[in-house]
């Protein structure tokens, strides 16, 4: 599994964006920040332990944009973005390429 996040508003990776990966039910598997390559460090070591099931990625979108100096309303359009997805075959690679702005997001399953 891999997660890549790009801030398409700036045309750069979303370095510093905080996110977590959780198993459905609230078990936090990994928390971290997107690195200079747009990736979540530490995910490689965890991938071998992922099983079929439902997971959530929680991206701290509003905090990221506010830290970058973007003025957002008191109630932001995207605050904590929760992306729920399923892994049906844990032997396959699941790549989640997030493309975001403070106002929208796109993601699909890559790496199939």
Report the CATH number that the domain containing residue 77 is assigned in CATH.
Answer: 2.60.40.180
Q: pTM of the entire structure? A: 0.93
Count of CA atoms in the C-beta half-sphere (13 A) of 62: 11
Flag whether 60 is in a domain.
yes
Flag whether 11 is in a domain.
yes
Flag whether 111 is in a domain.
no
pLDDT digits (tens, 9 = 90+) for 30-58: 999 999 999 999 998 888 889 999 999 99
Largest CA distance in the chain: 43
Helices (H) and strands (E) in the chain, counts: 2, 8
Flag whether 61 is in a domain.
yes
* Residue 65 predicted with pLDDT over 60: yes
* Residue 112 predicted with pLDDT over 70: no
Flag whether 112 is in a domain.
no
Flag whether 29 is in a domain.
yes
Flag whether 52 is in a domain.
yes
Domain that holds residue 74: 2-106
CA gyration radius, the chain: 14
* Residue 90 predicted with pLDDT over 80: yes
* Residue 66 predicted with pLDDT over 90: yes
Tally the domains of the chain. 1
């Amino acid at each position: 599994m891999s997660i890549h996040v790009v801030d398409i508003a700036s045309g750069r990776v979303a370095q510093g964006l905080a996110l977590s990966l959780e198993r459905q039910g609230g078990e936090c598997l990994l928390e971290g920040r997107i690195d200079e390559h747009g990736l979540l460090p530490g995910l490689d070591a965890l991938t071998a332990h992922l099983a079929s099931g439902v997971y959530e990625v929680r991206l701290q979108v509003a905090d990221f944009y506010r830290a970058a100096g973007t003025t957002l309303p008191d109630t932001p359009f995207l605050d904590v973005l929760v992306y729920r997805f399923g892994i049906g075959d844990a032997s396959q690679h699941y790549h989640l390429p997030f493309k975001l702005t403070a106002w929208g997001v796109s993601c699909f399953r890559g790496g199939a």
